[in-house]
A and B are shown apart, each in its own frame.
Chain A
Amino acid sequence: MAKGVWIVAEQRGGALRKVSFEIASAARKLADELGEEVSAVLVGSGVEGLAPELAKYGVDKVYVADDAIYADYTTDAYSAAVAKVVKENDASILLLGSSVQGKDLSASLVGKLATGMASDCTELKIADGKMVAIRPMYAGKVFAEIGVDSFPQMASLRPNVFAAVENAKVSEVVKFDAGIPADALKTKVLETQQDASGKVELTEANIIISGGRGMKGTDEYKILEDLAGLLGAAVGASRAAVDAGWKPQSDQVGQTGKVVSPNLYIACGISGAIQHLAGMSSSKYIVAINKDEEAPIFAKADYGIVDDLFKVIPELTAEVKKIL
């Protein structure tokens, strides 16, 4: 009988990523409801010391595969390690983050474990002893409740949506060796090219300031960057701005860009095309600044200002300087 709520903790370069604490907290909640334990799988090289950080967020047991072959994340190595320990322990529920790495790893695990998964979920609950996952589909135009009829019942969780809640446990560390021969690994990372330093990653940002068609050009983003610098925010763009060549594709928020859920999303000169709304409507607070009072973005906004963004943003920056 499958038992226990499991998570895969995500680390990069020897540091746990924030999404790991979010999924640990979500797992803790499900486990408390079921009266079961939370186990985390931690894979990497020189990562054993990270286990206590997971215990802080409610993890009872940390299964650690620590080996030089895991120095870089590769799908084949990580997925083989996680699949082995999860299978051996007959996990009932398995949660991962829906980050770039988590998306890749979770989908490969679905194949290895021959099970089902609800991707990019925004809510989890238990009904009749089973996990029910709630997730947006059709770019958020529809929400679906998903049940998984095989084990482990898998879900990947949208970053920044689930709260990381401290709930300290005395955690047991179990080392395991997945016994993967190095020559069984097919893919390798040849190179890691870091983006410009100091740039806040969109999918991890607490605050995002995005500019759309109303920005009129590349240089005009400077006023958004100034405000973003003060707030520790990331700067995003709509598809219109990316298609116009003002910002790179990696900055695009929306259905064919990144799906984000910050605490605060400030949309500047963005009309709110359905493709854009798809990428940001799970943000906690939405601010819209647009000259056109008919812009659909105002229907999604918590706070709206109908005015020229080039007049409002510098004033907002000045105000923020005063109060922070």
Chain B
Amino acid sequence: MKKQKVGARGESIRAHRRKEAIVNIVACVKQVPDTEALIKVNADGSGIEEGGIKWVMNPYDEYGIEEALKLKGANGGEVTVVSLGPARAMETIRTALAMGADKGVHITIDSADEYNTAAALAAAIKEINPDIIFCGQRAIDDDSAQVGSILAELLGIPQVTIVTGLEVADGKVKAIKPIEGAQLVIESPMPCVITAQKGLNEPRYASLPGIMKAKKKPVDVKDAAALGISVEPKAKIIKMTPPPERAPGKIIGGDDPAVKAAELAKLLREEAKVI
């Protein structure tokens, strides 16, 4: 844990050390297409058609922001929301500020692969000197589930991913992580990266006063290149295609549920050979 400066109200350094005060909380957010959005591949297969898409905050990042705000509520500190993306990503930063985050950092870049994204976030977050960093466990656009972990590695701090429960005390976190057939309770010292899974909390909505206040909160806009970030991807999209079509299926007709069920059992056994 790093040391806290003497507070404005004159609390002693010793008192802060004993409490292991939380000073800086970071939450990373990404703007993504709404889950209901129809996604179409563009003409040359290099990406998607962006026209007509409604952009929202990645749902898993909402759990991260909420946990950051809860932590601030209980322990104090300041919540900085960090996002990487084109100009429109500012809307998502404002949403997080309206929920209650204190300030924002917007790293402007049109797109980046997972490693470069994490490198840019790491460069910006290092300056904040955080006690804890929250990310969504994955973004629902590229579905990679990588950035939070890479970020932890680049910052040289521990990580606990896909977390559904969190306790913070004495400079440590205790996180609940579901795995196949079990739940783990994992302890990690701070600072650390936590990636949030559905179930961690119920994200709050931005209030109207929150939305008004958000407009005046500071957002530091940084160009990715100025952070020394490579724009050359390590993982790159060769081409995108629509999903493979499934062959048309068979509707089992008739009026008697028993006859239809028998026919289905027979097809599953003899044609599909799956039971």
Contacts and interface: CB of A to CB of B under 8 A. Distances in A.
A169 interface: no
B207 interface: no
B186 A323 contact: no
Given A186-B189, A285-B268, A303-B252, A201 B181 contact: yes
Interface SS of A by simple majority: mixed
B272 A149 contact: no
Contacts of A146: 235-238
A143 B146 contact: no
Contacts of B275: 207, 231, 264, 320, 323-324
Interface string B26-67: 000000010110110100000010000000000110000000
Interface SS of B by simple majority: mixed
Interface string A100-132: 110110111011101111111000000000001
B213 interface: no
Interface string A259-276: 000011000000000110
Interface residues of A, number: 93
B22 interface: no
Contacts of B164: 249
Interface string B228-259: 00001111111111111011011110000110
Contacts of B141: 137-138
A295 to B, nearest CB: 12
A312 interface: yes
Contacts of B60: 256
B241 A250 contact: no
B161 A141 contact: no
Classify chain B: how many residues form its interface, as a range.
Answer: 35 or more
A255 B35 contact: yes
A226 interface: no
A115 B115 contact: yes
A13 to B, nearest CB: 10
Interface stretch (A20-28, A45-53, A63-71, A187-195): A187-195
A319 interface: yes
Given A103-B162, A108-B149, A194 B199 contact: no
B202 to A, nearest CB: 12
A118 B260 CA distance: 42
Contacts of A143: 240-244
Contacts of B154: 111
A220 interface: no
24 contacts: A74-B186, A100-B178, A107-B145, A107-B149, A110-B153, A115-B234, A138-B142, A142-B39, A142-B242, A146-B235, A146-B236, A147-B235, A149-B234, A186-B157, A191-B184, A192-B182, A192-B185, A194-B182, A256-B35, A256-B60, A264-B275, A307-B257, A316-B261, A323-B265
Interface of A: 74-76, 79, 99-101, 103-104, 106-108, 110-112, 114-120, 132, 135-150, 186-195, 199, 201, 203-204, 206-207, 231, 249-250, 252, 255-257, 263-264, 274-275, 281, 284-287, 293, 298, 300-308, 311-313, 315-316, 318-320, 322-324
Closest 7 pairs (CB-CB, A-B): A111-B153, A116-B235, A116-B234, A107-B149, A315-B261, A319-B265, A111-B150
